[in-house]
Amino acid sequence: MSGDGMTVLQAQLGDWDNLNHLLVCEKTGSACIVDPYSGAYWLKICETNGWNLESAVLTHSHWDHSKGVKTLYEAGIRVWVHDYESKRGWVGPDSDRWEHPALTSEVFTVGELEFEVHCTPGHTPGHVTLKGNGVVISGDCLFLGRCGRTDLFGGDVHAMHESLKYLKSILMESSEDWLVLPGHQYVLADGNVPTYLTVHQLLKQNEALKAAGDDDAFHALEFLAFDDSLAE
């Protein structure tokens, strides 16, 4: 995606269908990688295109979203994460931490681009969602068809419901043609496997968002917890 001052590169890396997103300010050439699975991959992409990779943002600190951080940190890239991730044992490496409360936002810049960083816990204590310049990068808080699970260490089903109600109100106030970019590429109920949807499509199709605000409907969702080794 390119235009209106920003280029976004999306790549599916690793065996867990992770989606990485590189945000580039077209005016300054400054770049930020969100949830780097491979630091070396994104350093090479930026070198090839003449972009200056200045920062990395973790929507949360699960290993499949932070695997590339050590390489980037050692290369002098500023690494941003919310301080609440320390509640699930995150000790870095990172250079900068947000500390704003849940369901509030701070401003983050990439060159001359501004993004809202919303604290949206539930999947993890300090999960964040980025919004701005025509995109919403939702990490594992909100997938295209559902939401992230809440039964991993540091997860909280009540916090997830509050975060989804909060995000739903924000999305409903956003332009319908903005793109939602999730942390994983998962199959939808109709069998399609997109890597993005518009805000309009997401609000119509996402099961978790449709249930948000109705306690019974939300807690009846089957994807909030799984009986598997990850939960153990």
pLDDT number for residue 213:
97
Q: How far is CA 230 from the centre of its chain?
A: 20
Task: Place 232 in a pLDDT band, splitting at 50, 70 and 90.
Answer: low
CB < 8 Å & 24+ apart, contacts of 97-104 = 98/126, 98/128, 102/159, 102/162, 102/163, 103/162, 103/163, 103/166
Q: Is the pTM here over 0.85, yes or no?
A: yes
- Specify the DSSP element, H or E, that contains 128: strand 128-132
Task: Place 80 in a pLDDT band, splitting at 50, 70 and 90.
Answer: very high
Domain extents for the chain?
A: 2-219
**Is pLDDT above 90 for 200?**
yes
- The rounded distance, in Å, linking the Cα atoms of 175 and 208 is 20
pLDDT digits (tens, 9 = 90+) for 173-185: 999 999 999 999 9
Cβ neighbours, 10 Å, residue 112: 12
Q: What is the mean pLDDT of residues 89-102?
A: 98
Question: Distance between terminal CA atoms of the chain?
Answer: 39
- The rounded distance, in Å, linking the Cα atoms of 31 and 111 is 7
DSSP symbols for 76-107: T-EEEEEGGGGGGT---S-SEEE-PPTT-EEE
Task: Place 215 in a pLDDT band, splitting at 50, 70 and 90.
Answer: very high
> CB of 143 within 8 A of CB of 183?
yes
With pLDDT > 70 as the criterion, what percentage of the chain qualifies? 99
> Token digits for 75?
């290369």
pLDDT digits (tens, 9 = 90+) for 121-165: 999 999 999 999 999 999 999 999 999 999 999 999 999 999 999
- The rounded distance, in Å, linking the Cα atoms of 210 and 214 is 9
The architecture that CATH gives domain 2-219 is: 4-Layer Sandwich (3.60)
- The rounded distance, in Å, linking the Cα atoms of 52 and 29 is 6
pLDDT number for residue 201:
97
Cβ neighbours, 10 Å, residue 210: 16
- Write down the mean pLDDT value for the chain: 97
- The rounded distance, in Å, linking the Cα atoms of 200 and 75 is 39
Provide the pairing of β-strand 179-182 with 135-139: parallel
- The rounded distance, in Å, linking the Cα atoms of 34 and 128 is 11
Q: What is the mean pLDDT of residues 9-23?
A: 95
- The rounded distance, in Å, linking the Cα atoms of 90 and 62 is 9
- The rounded distance, in Å, linking the Cα atoms of 50 and 48 is 6
**Is pLDDT above 90 for 229?**
no
What residue type is assigned to position 208 of the chain?
A
> CB of 111 within 8 A of CB of 25?
yes
Angle at 61 between CA 58 and CA 62, to 5 degrees: 125
